[in-house]
Every structure is written in C-alpha cells, then in structure tokens.
Structure 1
Amino acid sequence: MSAPGGRISNHALRKALDECRWNGPAFANEVNRIGREMGLDLHYARPSVSQWLGGVRPRPPVPEVIAEAISRRLGRRVTAEETGFGVPGPRRGGYDLGEERPGGPAWPPKSPVPYSLDALAAVPDLSGLGFGSARERGSALAARDVRSVATMTEMFACTVAQFGASPARKAMQSYIDTKLRPLLLRPAKPGVRWELLNTATRMVRVCGYAHYDDEAHGNAQCYYLLSASAAIAISDTDAVARVLRLLSMQARELGHAAPATRLARLALEHGRNSGTGMRALLHGQLSAAAATAADGKTADRHLRTAKKLAGEPDGRTWPGVLTGAYVSYYEAVTASHRGDRTRAITALAEGVRRCPADFARLRVIMLARLAELQAREGRLTAACRTWSQFLSQSEAFRSASIDTAVRRAKAILHPYRYHETAAEILAQIAHRHRHDRVLPETI
C-alpha cells in the first residue's frame, strides 16, 4: 500500500511498534529521551510518528535512535534496516584504532550516534575492537614519539578537568585521527609498542570522558569501549578497571541501573590488584550503582570499604585527597538514593571542601548537585548561596554538562522567582546567558 505522495508505508516500523505495544506519543517521547543522551534536542510527537509510518524517512542519525529505542523496549538488537529505514548507521565494532581504511569513515564516528545498551552487553568481550592488526609501515617508532603522545594526553586531560570538554574535544578527536593513528601503523620494538598502546589507551579514555562531559553519550561510549579493548589487548587490568568504572558511571547517570551495576562489578574484578586509591573509587562506584538499583545492602557494604580504603595513609597525598573527594560524592549518591538527603548534603559539602583545585570541573558539578539537594530539602537560602558559588566558579567552563546544571538551577528556582535571593541567582543566570564568552574550539 502506498502512502500519499507516492511514498510506501513503513510496514516494518508498524510491526515493530505493535510488538513494543507503543502508541505514537509514547514512542516519540522515548526517541526524544534517547536523543538527549547523545546531545540531540529532539521534539517529536504523534504527527512525526504518523509521518514515519507513512514512509517519511527522518534525517540521520534519527533512524539509529529509533532502532535503539525499539531495541531497548524489546530487549534484543534491532537495526535501522529492520525498522524500514534502509541504510544502516555507523557500526559499533570491528574497527581497529590503527586500521588503515582509505576513504572510510573515522571511528569512533564524529557524527552523533545513539548510546547503546546492546554494546554494553558485549563488555568485556571486545575482541572485535582489537588493536595491532594493522599493516605496519613507515619509519620505526621511537621513545620520543610515545613521550609526545603522553604530553598531549596530559594537556588534554588537564584542559577538560579545569575548563570543561568543549575547548578540547574536537582538538582531541583530530589528534587521534591525524597523529595517533599513523603512529600505530608504524613498526616498533615490543617495549615501545606496548608503551604507545598504553598511552593511547589513556588518550582515548580521556577523549571519551570529554564527550561524556559534553553529553555526547553515544560517542563517549564508543571511545570508552575502544579504550577498554586496547587495555585488554595489552593485559593492563588497571586500565580496564578505570574505563569500566567510567562506563558504569555513564550508565548510572543515564538511568540504566542494572548495566551500571554489572559494569561496576566487572571494574572491581579487573582492579583487584590496583592501587589503594583506585580500589576505593571502584568500591565507591559499585556502591552508587547498587544504590541506584535499590540494592541497599550491597551499596552500604561497598561504601564502607571505599571509605576505609580512602582513609588509608596515602589519603593525605594529592591523589589521595582527590580519591577522598570522589568517595564523598559516592556517599552522597548512595545516601540520596536511600532517602537520606541530610547525609547526602553533608557528604557533598565535604566532597567540595576536599576537591583539589586542579579538578575544578568535579568541584563545580558537586556544587550544582549540592544546591539541588539543598533546594529539595527546603533550604532555599543555603541553596542559593551554593548556586552563587557554582555560577562564579564555573564561569570559565564550556561543556554541555555545565550548561545542563545551569538550566536545572533556573528550572528549580523559577517557582521562587519573587523571592529576593532566588531572584538574584536567576538574574546571574540571565546575565551569564547574555554575556556568554565563546572560547576557541582548539587548544
């Protein structure tokens, strides 16, 4: 049967929606929600769904978003082709960071891709993303090449931690595509090769975190999975644990409690021989994930372990202080999900106090969440003081996560807009939007 205008009705999509038992508005809402996970501002409603069923094809990457929505609903992988939209989107696996693909698309893709629960199900079996299969060519790698990558990695990581993701994200993508990939194609002695892959693992992980901070969650997931595959390839269990923790953090914050808990357990398993500070973070993440999944006993047990490890002697050193700040954050998440808002507020305030100056992004995010908890607790004046700190300390930041925190503050305070203190914060937000400075996209 043909739709008006000569289009062919999308019977495959109709069949999928029937299987999902979704009406038009419910389906559109889920597509919008998954779009937000990848940084897309979608506003589909029933008329759009009717158009899709009538043969209209939405612009990329929406067909992939639709496929992901149906996949989650049915609990099995459904491709864009199977929903009647024809051309498949970017693949999730099978590309090597050092793979030579003349004229092919960059991997991970630069265009937005959906966050995929199906991709998480494969962790830690990531052999399809393996490293080292490329044909070697060019002059031999030298130690100075590895040092150069390590220096750039450190610079990118510091930029994201101190100024947010937006100033560094595209520069990092470009560096990986144009500098790191060619290095991975060059011949090298085993020791130099290992050092390069170890450094590449961290750079790709940092790039994933930058996408996470900019709320491009599907692309962040691609980089995280690639980093994990590299760490597995060189048997670096500590690096595997680090990236699995980040994958768990991302899944939890997106509301996927079960995958977050499974990933946190895997991270802890791989990190059993990591240093004290990292093991504290791994136990803390499992505590937060378990609390989100309403497993209070597991959450409490691992939080106790995290706090114990964070209190060991290296807790007085700089890395130990950062660990203590993170563990306080995990305690706040766990307490909040267990209904103890007062304890959560106390823990977040302690996390803000302990956070090192070099990790300004972590501190301002904790300030934003502390203000939200204070507001929900009815402590409006205290919340406004905290939001004032957040706005002043995050002024130089450019990232989608900071922008979201500002929008949340505005939404929470809107009902109190005639309250003097709340009105002052709303005025600061309005002034910030009017005079937002644009930072360069590259470093």
Structure 2
Amino acid sequence: MQPDARRRRDPTPNGELRGLLAETEWTQEAFARAIGRLGAEAGVRLRYDRTSVARWLRGSRPSPQVQGFIAEALSRRLGRPVPVAQLGMGDGRSGGRGRRSAESRAEPTGRTYVPAARPARPADQLAALTAAVVGPPRADSPPAAPYQLTLLKQQGLAHSRPSGSNPPASPANSPSAGEGEEHGGIGDVPTETPEPLRPRPPRDHSPSSRGGRPARRTAPDEVASVREHVRFFSQQADRHGGGHIRTTLAASLAALVRRLRTGGEGPHHPQLVAGAARLSYLLARVYADEYRHGLAQRAFLTAAELAEEGGDPEGVALARRALSSQAHQLGHRRQSLELAEAACESAPAGTAPSARAFLYAGLAVAQAGQGRRHRALAALRSAEHELARSPADLTTGPESPDGEPVGSYQDAALHYQAGQVRAALGDREGAVRELRASLRFRPEGECRSRALSEAELAELLLAQGRLEEACAAWELFLEDSALIRSGRARRARDRMPRLLRPYTQEPCVQGLLTRAGMPLGTL
C-alpha cells in the first residue's frame, strides 16, 4: 500500500515542457538564466538554476506568476507565442495537474497580473492595472509581470517594413541625396508605408447593455479635471519620482474607470477618454521607473487604445514612442526602431511641433541604437528644427530625462536624448556636452530628472578617466536622489560603489562613498 500511495503523490513528468525545451536547443542552465533575465526586466529577482528546471520537467509546478515568465522566455526563443496553457503546468490553482514545488510555495507572489489574454475593452485593461495597486486588500507595491515582445506584434504596434522600402521622408532638414539616408517623418507618408492613423469615431457608449439607463452627458468640467490631474501627476513624477504618486495616480484612474464604464455622450466624452489615455500613459511611466516593465508595457498599450478610442491620434503616436523608448532601455533595439518608425508614421499632419520634436528624438535614439549614424543625426536635426518652431510652454516645465512627456517637450529633454544618441554612436565627449546642457536647462525642482542625468553624466565621465569630475557629478546626484523615490535612481546608486571599487584609494572617492553611507570595508 505504501509504495502505491507514494506513486500517487508523485507528480507526472511534464512532457509538454520537455518538448518545448528540446525545440529551443537550450540547456537547462541556459533556460534558467533566460528566465532570470526576464525577471530582471520586470523588477523581480528570480533565482532558478538547472535543478529548478529539472524539477519542473519531473512535474513540479512554480507559481502562476513564474509560469508567465517561463512562457515568455520560450516565446522569445522560438519566435512564436507560447501560452501558459501549453506549458503542461495546469491552471496554477489547486486541482490542476502536477504539484507546486516547495520553492513556489515559498514565493511571495501577492496578487499576480499575468492574464491569459488582455481584456477586450481598454477600460477593463485599465481596471486590471490599477487593481494591482489600490484594490482590496490595498497593496502599494504592484506585482510583477513579464515584458512580452510578442504582445507588441499581437497589438499591431511593431511592424517590419518590407526589404527595399524606405521610411517616410522628413519634412525638414532631410539629409542630402549623396548620403542616401532617409528617416521616418511625421505626416508625409509614401504609399508603401502604413497610412497615418485617422481618428476613429468614439465607441458606442449607449446604455442598451446597462439596463436601459440613459447615458450621462459628459460635462466640460469633468474633462478639465482629468487634464489637471494629468498636469499634476506629470509634474510630481519629474520632481519626486514615481514612488511618491503610484498609489494616488492608480486611485484616480480607478475612479475614472468607473466613469468610463457607465458610458457617456456628447461632444466632450471623447476628450474624457483621451484624458484617461494620458493618465494611463503616466501610470506606465511610473511602472517603468520602478522597473515593473511588464506592467508598464501593458499600461502603454492601454494608453494607445484609449487614445484611439477617444479620437486622439497624437496620443497614439506618443504611446508608441514610449513603447519604443522602453524597448530600447531593455535592449530590444530592432523592436525599438520599428516602434519609433510606427510612432512617426501614425502621427497626424496637425501634430504640434513639440510633439513632433519628441517623436523625432525617439527615432534618433532608436536609429543610433542600431548603429545608423547618418539617419540618427538627421532625425536629431529634425527634432531640433521642430522644437525651435514650438511656442514656449511655461505651464508644465521640462519633462523627464527619459523623454516621455504628456503634453510638452523642451530643451532639457532634447539635450538629454541627444546625449543618448551621441553615447550610442561612440561619441562620449559629445554625450557629456549634451548632458551638461540638459542640466543647465533643467529647473532645480525637477529632482528626479536631474538625478538621473547626473548619474549618467558621472558614469560617462568615469569611462573617460575623469575621476574627479565624475565624483563631483555623483555628489550632485546624491543630493537630488535623497529627495525622490525612483527605482531608476536606486539602481544608479547601487551601481556607484561597483564602478568606483578600483579607485578606493583616491581621496575624492573615499569622501563620496563616506557621504553615501558606503564604508570602504563593505566594498
């Protein structure tokens, strides 16, 4: 009896996962490392090795959260979507096949946002994203979700241009024919590329499916309130970091979701939906700042869909540009370029000059990431030209150094992204000049933006052997980072002692590390 009972308790070997792993031609150790890299993208530490994979193949099952990362690792390797349902791990609840391993039972997963499919309605997607932060029981820290490259293609946001075709030409400062370098434009799109996005009619918000209640007419003051929320949260993110506003921003969005679900009518309702798109965009920025890139990606996608529903093609273009910036940050350079080009192509002819500058700057960074020097510099010149045409905006101030504004784009952000272009092209001295120019234009109150720029400047200076200048930049970084809550700033601070370890005998390094509370004996 006892051997039979033991056999019944043993998990069933997972043939589905074994087949997928064989198809990847990965070793078990390489598979575990790939999952760990995906966890790092999403801001969660996944410590697995070949023994963990061996247990999964024998039938043990990690948590549903980890299954999402396993599926994404396989999807990237195989070049096709691999749903969680195909992993042979059941549905992640009691009663599914196999058994959960001891390691998975010990994982502090909290509430998990790894849906099998995204909700059909953008308002429902937004509800899922905000419930992770403000839903009962209240949890200030959102769960992790994998960043999915396949999700970009499923949503039609990343595209591959047929070989031999050219991106649309720039309306200004195009390179000469002798250079042979065209780059993405805004509004001037040839027939072989996707047409610019046209505003869709607002979705039908009729009350027929809601018990026959009449749809409430959206009032102008509701739209004005949403716009003020956008302005306020944008300023706070740049000044103090996403950690200070995450919960209140999500709560505001959750309340707005309830309003969107009740429906609305009248000429102001599309503007309310477009305002929700801008707030979703800001929530994505907050998640990205905290390295919750899976959640950030979903929030950016939701922002694009809401903007399209609200008849705001410029908002769609800005969301695509943000997705490009995120992909670049995570090292997915080909997808970054595809998204940057799609953003430029989808912007309408009437796009404001500051938004045009923002889109061209993103294209320049993406081109530089692919080593396309002439195209990158041409796109950067177009961004400078458009920003010079833009009227001064004294109401919102310069935006964050990662260059993702909601309404305006100014000199400090453009210089920052010019620095990214120069650095990617190997021009460190030019990158230093651009970052210093960015800091000159950046208001003192923009603590998060200044801190991130100062950290990047310090690392560039150190790479050039300019140790004392690097320490001076890090001193300023410590001052500004003490006033903010930002995951990016925390990571920059964590890199500092590792980078300075070879120079601990230098007085300026000793003083800097002492001030940072990092005694030399701990390095």
TM-score, normalized by length of structure 1? 0.88
Q: How far did residue 39 of structure 1 move?
A: 1.0
Equivalent-residue separation in structure 2 for 1:167 and 1:4 (angstroms): 51
For residues 378-421 of structure 1, give each alpha carbon's deviation from its aligned partner in whole angstroms, at most 9, with x where no partner exists. 11111110011011012111121111111111221122223221
1:207-253 Cα deviation digits (max 9, x unpaired):
11111111111101111101100111223121111111111110100
Going from structure 1 to structure 2, the CA distance change for 1:227 and 1:243 (only over 3 Å counts) comes to same
| Cα distance in structure 2, aligned partners of 1:326 and 1:257 | 21
Aligned to 1:96: 121
Listed as ranges, the matches of 1:213-362 within 5 Å are 213-271=289-347, 272-312=349-389, 314=391, 323-362=410-449
Alpha-carbon deviation of 1:200? 0.8
Q: Which ranges in structure 2 are unaligned for 5 or more consecutive residues? A: 1-5, 93-113, 133-142, 159-201, 399-408
Counterpart secondary structure, 2:267: helix
- In structure 2, which of residues 9, 16, 19 is the aligned counterpart of residue 15 of structure 1? 19
Identity of aligned residues (%): 29
Letter in 2 for 1:96: R
Q: Distance in 1 between matches of 2:299 and 2:8?
A: 43
| Matched residue, 2:55 | 51
8 Å CA contact 1:265, 1:286 repeated in 2: yes
Asked whether the 8 Å contact 2:72–2:148 carries over to 1, the reply is yes
Shift of 1:75: 0.8
- Would the alpha carbon gap of residues 73 and 4 (structure 1) be closer, same or farther in structure 2, given more than 3 Å must change? farther
AA at the equivalent of 2:507: E
C-alpha separation between the residues in 2 aligned to 1:382 and 1:350?
16
1:409 — aligned with what?
A: 496
Q: Larger helix proportion, structure 1 or 2?
A: 1
- AA partner of residue 309 (structure 1): E
Which one of the candidate residues 475, 483, 489 is aligned to 1:388?
A: 475
Partner of 2:192: none
Structure 2 residue 236 is matched with structure 1 residue 159: yes
CA distance in 2: counterparts of 1:100 and 1:56, whole angstroms: 31
C-alpha deviation, 1:147, in angstroms? 3.0
Verify the 8 A CA contact 2:218 2:266 in the aligned structure 1.
no
Whether the 8 Å CA contact 2:119–2:125 is kept in 1: the answer is no
Offset of residue 68 of structure 1: 0.4
Q: Deviations over 1:303-325 (max 9, x none)?
A: 12112223346369677965222
Given residue 417 of structure 1, which amino acid in structure 2 is its aligned partner?
Answer: T
- Residues 172/98 of structure 1: CA separation in 2 closer, same or farther (3 Å cut): same
- 2:452 pairs with 1:365: yes
Counterpart pick for 1:192 among 268, 278, 281: 268
Q: Would the aligned equivalents of 2:447 and 2:484 in 1 still touch at CA under 8 Å?
A: no
* Equivalent of residue 115 in structure 1, options 147, 151, 164: 147
- Assess if the C-alpha contact under 8 Å between 1:71 and 1:77 holds in 2: yes
Q: Specify the structure having the higher radius of gyration (Cα).
A: 2
Alignment deviations for residues 165-212 of structure 1 (CA, whole Å, 9 cap, x no partner): 1121122223322x1112113343321211211211111111111111
The residue that corresponds to 1:71 in the other structure is 75
TM-score norm. by structure 2 comes to 0.75
- SS of 2:72 mapped into structure 1: helix
C-alpha displacement of 1:140 = 4.5
Structure 1 gaps, min length 5: 433-443
Aligned counterparts of 1:4 and 1:53: Cα–Cα separation in 2:
17
CA contact (8 A) 1:153 1:202 kept: yes
Kindly provide the CA deviation profile for residues 276-313 of structure 1, in whole angstroms up to 9, marking residues without a partner as x: 12111111111101111222222122112112223346
Counterpart CA distance in 1 for 2:476 and 2:249 is 30
Amino acid across the alignment from 2:367: A
**Change in CA separation of 1:166 and 1:93 when aligned onto 2, cut-off 3 Å:** same
Equivalent pairs counted in the alignment come to 425
Q: 2:11 is aligned with what amino acid?
A: R
